[in-house]
Structure 1
């Protein structure tokens, strides 16, 4: 039994050590925002989208890759000669046996000005068991015949596919699509950080609200203690205690509800930051306080036109829409070109030579032998045109519709930006005025409640009056807190809608804490 007690004590010690070893996660706004880049699924998926489009660009560039080709052939034929064939008398078993070896190799490349160049070499070797050559001269059986040819050709499109602008249209459009994906990724990250910032201020508000409810609960307990002393001194009726206890029970219920709201706000912050349920529960108390009006660089009479101008310069979704529009314009120009007929001019040059023999030197001399040498040049014109050409015409119409649809999207984003920023500026002005009034009301109610407490202790006021002013003070403090939350939200809303919440550079994204605490500067914008 004694040993069992030691075992239980040891187990409890280990459990306590394990609980203490679970480190808390610091609830710092910027730290959580940075952590979201490796945990938030929407941010991670957005970065994958950039990589996907980058691979599409690589695929488009493969059109201009240098391609090599080669072929190796070996064939043996046995031909039974006809009875009337005079070669039968020179062959054993009346069978003509032929061996063929052929090797070809070359390179082909489409250049960005539209031409297609090809350089190739072909080597062929044949022999047979017929004891005469092509000139009816007696030779040894299976005497090798070597033939080598070097070919060069250049195709110049004259209609469809002509020119650098057409040849590189898809490549240039996908360069724009990569930039479009990067801009979209920046906007997605800004949106996710806006959600994180909003969730953080809600978490901080819930934390401070719970503190206000607990302070209110403590004030009521203090009143209850004072009332008990007054009742015991026959200065207050005992019935007053029932009223205070009822008010205390009501306040305790509100405190329980505030604890639930705090937990929900913590889980929401963990959700938008990409944390697991276990990690979200480890979030510590909020480390960042609300921004102040002075700290925010806010000035009365700010002009919304300045912020609209900043938004049109900085908004990543608008930039992405413009890049997408430019990419579609490139593709539309290509679709226009594809309606044209296919007319290609091909120029070619060939050099070849032959040799006879079974030695290695005979094979090599087939490239240099002046006897049997052949040099050829020429040109050909190829014309191809589908009679109805429905495929090209349909693609042109589809490209036209897509381009104009993107133009509608672009115009709508610009229109929406002006409306959003206008609403943000109005919300900011309103939140500042609301915050100033809320602070004034809280100060007044605090002073009134303090005076009412002194009057209650002196018997100069009623319990109901004291409870009323206590509730007014709590309500004023909560309203003051909400006014701060609205002001913080107004800053982050304006930052997100003007495209200045996050900054992108060649190394990635940077997050400045000032973006959550100050409004965009008119004279020195982010970019």
Structure 2
């Protein structure tokens, strides 16, 4: 069953392992939080990608000024003691950083100005407010020679952010697996509490049957009156245990709802559990489990292993960038320009300023720009931090793999031990049941005491509860081993897949 929105508006929520696990993908806060981490990483990728965006810069400006001339200024006789100027500027530019490291900049500039001074710069009389137009186009190509050189350095942050997206997705996968593991364990606790209550109720009924037999035997003068007090005391104690079992069941139901992500009201609406414990035969268990094969499966499948691998790649790129930033800034800038000018008023003069042969200016050149902070503490500090982060990530990788090996060893040993305990507890329960039945017959025949019957009854209840707990521990051992090997859930294109086998069988080491 694939994960999907589970609609449940009925009075009871079906308590099936697969269904409650699927609900968690939409309700569990830890799973939702891990999904937000993916979205945050994707947003960070967009930030890093913005380095290579086209940047459009535009500016428009108009200026009017009035300059009062000195009395000795010869221009007074032409402008009446005040020189008035108007200017209009328009500029637009497009810049882009290429992934190969170069920076390209193209700009277009236009300027128009006039004044009330009637002579132009060639001392020709043209009249007041006669316009001057100029336009130019510039192309600049910047090639970093040291710091920022090469596409590997330029794209380091962008590529690192992609690795962080992958890391977040694998973290999300592992977080889902862990939460499903917790749901499985909580489900088996709920199922155990449900079955325990049944055992206590059955035991209470057995005590009542013993009480009824004792009453009849007392009436027939085959048992003393004092035996009734013993049975009544035992019955009161069993009723106490039943009340505690009911409380345990209530707590287990709400705890299951908690790990699923349900509210208090929704948790109380969880119906009785419908999945029974797995059996040893159906689990595919075999005594000589290959731990090395399981460790290999874990390292190939676990989300946290994949996540730290992606994080190491990201930190490695950041270290490369930090090392490059230790270099001075030395840029070779090549540029070319074209400009032209025209004189006169009118819109046609504005356009002709870009193509007019007179006043045309064409050129090209190159320059070197050097920049370097003498102490360079910022670059040195970032380099040290990146180097430490890379070393620390190596330690994290080694520690994760070390813990996987230890955890697989523990999980396998726990599984083997739980199988042995389950087998022995089932044998003990069967023997206790036979012993109690025989003792009950002997009591009715007057061949044994009430105390012996009560002792055998307590042993039966105890062995039945121990067998139930052994089944729970075996079921938990399967889930834990599945989680530790990364085979509890499966990634699909549209989400995650959970199968019944993940809760009932151990991982297959033959594939």
| Residue 361 (1) aligns with residue 348 (2) | yes
| Residue 285 (1) aligns with residue 259 (2) | no
- From 162, 185, 205, give the equivalent of 1:175: 162
What is the alpha-carbon distance in structure 2 between the residues aligned to residue 512 and residue 153 of structure 1?
61
- Cα offset, 1:266, TM superposition: 1.1
Unaligned runs of 5+ in 1: 1-20
- From 152, 159, 166, give the equivalent of 2:139: 152
- Cα offset, 1:239, TM superposition: 2.1
- Cα offset, 1:415, TM superposition: 0.5
For 1:57, the equivalent position in structure 2 comes to 45
| Residue 74 (1) aligns with residue 62 (2) | yes
| Residue 421 (1) aligns with residue 408 (2) | yes
Can you list the C-alpha shifts for 1:196-222, whole angstroms capped at 9, x where unaligned?
111111111011011101111111111
For 1:474, the equivalent position in structure 2 comes to 461
For 2:214, the equivalent position in structure 1 comes to 227
What is the alpha-carbon distance in structure 1 between the residues aligned to residue 462 and residue 490 of structure 2?
39
| Residue 392 (1) aligns with residue 379 (2) | yes
- Cα offset, 1:326, TM superposition: 1.3
- From 344, 358, 361, give the equivalent of 2:331: 344
Q: Which moves more between the two structures, 210-219 or 28-37?
A: 28-37
What is the alpha-carbon distance in structure 2 between the residues aligned to residue 86 and residue 199 of structure 1?
99
For 2:481, the equivalent position in structure 1 comes to 494
What is the alpha-carbon distance in structure 2 between the residues aligned to residue 87 and residue 227 of structure 1?
136
What is the alpha-carbon distance in structure 1 between the residues aligned to residue 114 and residue 500 of structure 2?
83
What is the alpha-carbon distance in structure 1 between the residues aligned to residue 205 and residue 59 of structure 2?
92
| Residue 455 (1) aligns with residue 442 (2) | yes
| Residue 36 (1) aligns with residue 21 (2) | no
Are 2:290 and 2:509, in contact at CA under 8 Å, matched by a contact in 1?
no
| Residue 26 (1) aligns with residue 29 (2) | no
For 1:200, the equivalent position in structure 2 comes to 187
- Cα offset, 1:22, TM superposition: 6.6
For 1:131, the equivalent position in structure 2 comes to 118
What is the alpha-carbon distance in structure 2 between the residues aligned to residue 318 and residue 55 of structure 1?
24
For 1:331, the equivalent position in structure 2 comes to 318
For 1:11, the equivalent position in structure 2 comes to none
- From 389, 414, 417, give the equivalent of 1:430: 417
Aligned-partner SS, 2:364 = strand
What is the alpha-carbon distance in structure 1 between the residues aligned to residue 229 and residue 381 of structure 2?
84
| Residue 115 (1) aligns with residue 70 (2) | no
For 1:252, the equivalent position in structure 2 comes to 239
What are the residue-to-residue correspondences of 1:304-315 with 2, within 5 Å?
A: 304-315=291-302
What is the alpha-carbon distance in structure 2 between the residues aligned to residue 124 and residue 507 of structure 1?
58
What is the alpha-carbon distance in structure 1 between the residues aligned to residue 93 and residue 186 of structure 2?
63
Aligned-partner SS, 1:159 = coil
Q: Which moves more between the two structures, 152-161 or 510-519?
A: 510-519
Aligned-partner SS, 1:464 = helix
For 1:406, the equivalent position in structure 2 comes to 393
For normalisation by structure 1, the TM-score amounts to 0.93
What is the alpha-carbon distance in structure 1 between the residues aligned to residue 371 and residue 229 of structure 2?
100
Aligned-partner SS, 1:103 = strand
Can you list the C-alpha shifts for 1:148-195, whole angstroms capped at 9, x where unaligned?
111110100000000011001111111111111111111111111111
- Cα offset, 1:466, TM superposition: 1.4
- Cα offset, 1:124, TM superposition: 0.7
- Cα offset, 1:304, TM superposition: 0.9
- From 270, 289, 307, give the equivalent of 1:320: 307
Aligned-partner SS, 1:150 = strand
Q: Which moves more between the two structures, 21-30 or 386-395?
A: 21-30
- From 214, 220, 227, give the equivalent of 2:201: 214
Aligned-partner SS, 1:295 = helix
Can you list the C-alpha shifts for 1:494-513, whole angstroms capped at 9, x where unaligned?
01111111222332222222
- Cα offset, 1:133, TM superposition: 1.3
Aligned-partner SS, 2:280 = coil
Q: Which moves more between the two structures, 426-435 or 386-395?
A: 386-395
What is the alpha-carbon distance in structure 2 between the residues aligned to residue 425 and residue 43 of structure 1?
27
How many residues align structurally? 503
For normalisation by structure 2, the TM-score amounts to 0.96
Are 2:108 and 2:137, in contact at CA under 8 Å, matched by a contact in 1?
yes
What is the alpha-carbon distance in structure 1 between the residues aligned to residue 126 and residue 381 of structure 2?
65
What is the alpha-carbon distance in structure 1 between the residues aligned to residue 10 and residue 277 of structure 2?
28
What is the alpha-carbon distance in structure 1 between the residues aligned to residue 405 and residue 427 of structure 2?
33
For 1:383, the equivalent position in structure 2 comes to 370
Are 2:146 and 2:331, in contact at CA under 8 Å, matched by a contact in 1?
yes
Q: Which moves more between the two structures, 145-154 or 227-236?
A: 227-236
What is the alpha-carbon distance in structure 2 between the residues aligned to residue 500 and residue 348 of structure 1?
60
- From 336, 358, 362, give the equivalent of 1:371: 358
What is the alpha-carbon distance in structure 2 between the residues aligned to residue 369 and residue 515 of structure 1?
80
Can you list the C-alpha shifts for 1:463-490, whole angstroms capped at 9, x where unaligned?
2221111111111110100010000000
Aligned-partner SS, 1:86 = coil
Aligned-partner SS, 1:382 = strand
